[in-house]
Structures are given as structure tokens and as C-alpha cells.
């Protein structure tokens, strides 16, 4: 069974946590405003959920991490990238919110620096709030397409979603899960594979790393 670790990244307000809750509960659950998170404990804004799904007769086990409002504290979130195989980069697809797209550059740099997979960490770009798009407005926008080219994100790894309505959220996740599994499987005999030391660390991680932070995973 493929066991995948994926982190949701992006600025506050783009809908990371509502996407997370949509996957976890199947419903739209509004997240607290930023001021409510400012007094959180160091691990208080971080959630994880293990999602299990059979796709094409293959079972998947995906641990999805949402860093909530703690993305403002890089020292707190960088350690979470170390063992992740992939990052879902979330931006607000509304035409007047392009700044949330360009802000993802920082998260990409952090993921590629902190992840044990370095430049090979798998990136997917999700344009959330597609429900706000008007007639004739398409996703990805020319700006998003240019962004993907700059950071070598394949066209098929951009997804237009709406956490509010649920549009394409699960379909996007399932597609990305298959892609991650394919990449990992193809590179299983190369340096993409975890080293013996990392494998040992991973074997102890459910007790020493994951469960100390999130009892649900």
C-alpha cells in the first residue's frame, strides 16, 4: 500500500484549512480568523489527517498536513517538510488575488530546502475559490501558467477547486495521489528512494514525530 505524506501550503485566507476539512469531513467548515491563531501554541494550529482510498484496485494511505496559521512562523513549519513527498500549493484563483499566487515562491523555496527530497519534492498548484470566477474567466490564468513554467510544475498538476462547494477537491486529490505514487515507483531504484538512515527514521516516526503532534495520524 503506498503511504504518502502531503503538506498544504500557502498564505492565510486562500482556503488551505477549508480544503483540509473538506477532505476530512466532506463538508465546508470555516476556519478561524488570523487573530484567533496568533495566540496558538507552537503545535496548536497544525492538523493532520490520514486519508485512505482505493483507486483502480490499489489502496492508498495519505497523511495530509495543514499548518494552519503557523505558516507565519517558518521555524515551526520547516521541520514538517523534511519527510513530505509532495506539497499542494494553494492560491486564491480570484482575479484580484494574484498576490497569493506569487507568494507561493517562498513556500516552494522552503519545501525544496527543508525536504529530504530537495528539488525532487513533488509540487501541485491548486487554484481554490473557483466558485468566484465569472463567465469567461479561466483557470489557470496566464499568470498561473507562467508561474508553473518557472517552477517546473507540469500542466496536469494544476487543479481548479472550490472548498466551498466541494467542486473537484476529491478528484484533484485522487489524481495527485496517483501521480505521486507513479513518480515514487518509477524512481524507486534511484536516489529518490529514502536512504537507509531515513528509512530507519521513518520507521520510528509514527511514535517520535507524528503522534506527538497529531493524535489522529
Residue range 91-108, pLDDT digits in tens: 999 989 999 999 999 999
Comparing C-alpha atoms, which of 166, 183, 190, 201 is closest to residue 86? 183
Place of cell 498576490: 99
pLDDT surpassing 70 at residue 202 = no
Distance of CA 111 to the CA centre of its chain: 11
pTM of the predicted structure, to 2 decimals:
0.82
Place of cell 502531503: 6
* Joined grid coordinates for residue 96: 484580484
Q: Give the pLDDT band of residue 71 (cuts 50, 70, 90).
A: low
- Parallel/antiparallel/unpaired status of strands 58-66 and 47-55: antiparallel
Domains detected in the chain: 3-210 (3.40.50.300)
pLDDT tens-digit map of 123-161: 999 999 999 998 777 789 999 999 999 999 999 999 999
Amino acid at each position: 500500500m503506498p503511504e504518502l505524506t502531503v503538506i498544504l501550503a500557502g498564505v492565510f485566507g486562500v482556503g488551505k484549512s477549508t480544503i483540509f476539512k473538506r477532505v476530512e469531513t466532506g463538508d465546508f467548515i470555516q476556519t478561524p480568523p488570523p487573530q484567533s491563531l496568533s495566540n496558538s501554541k507552537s503545535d496548536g494550529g497544525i492538523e493532520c489527517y490520514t486519508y485512505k482510498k482505493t483507486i483502480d484496485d490499489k489502496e492508498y494511505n495519505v497523511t495530509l498536513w495543514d499548518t494552519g496559521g503557523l505558516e507565519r512562523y517558518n521555524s515551526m513549519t520547516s521541520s514538517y517538510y523534511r519527510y513530505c513527498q509532495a506539497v499542494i500549493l494553494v492560491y486564491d484563483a480570484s482575479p484580484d488575488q494574484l498576490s497569493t499566487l506569487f507568494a507561493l515562491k517562498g513556500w516552494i523555496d522552503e519545501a525544496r530546502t527543508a525536504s529530504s527530497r530537495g528539488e525532487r519534492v513533488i509540487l501541485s498548484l491548486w487554484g481554490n475559490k473557483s466558485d468566484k470566477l465569472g463567465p469567461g474567466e479561466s483557470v489557470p490564468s496566464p499568470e498561473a501558467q507562467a508561474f508553473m513554467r518557472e517552477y517546473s510544475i507540469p500542466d496536469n498538476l494544476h487543479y481548479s477547486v472550490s472548498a466551498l462547494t466541494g467542486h473537484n477537491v476529491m478528484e484533484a486529490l485522487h489524481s495527485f495521489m496517483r501521480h505521486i505514487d507513479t513518480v515514487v515507483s518509477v524512481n524507486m531504484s534511484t536516489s529518490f528512494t529514502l536512504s537507509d538512515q531515513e528509512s530507519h527514521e521513518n520507521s520510528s516516526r509514527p511514535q517520535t514525530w507524528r503522534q506527538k503532534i497529531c493524535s489522529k495520524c
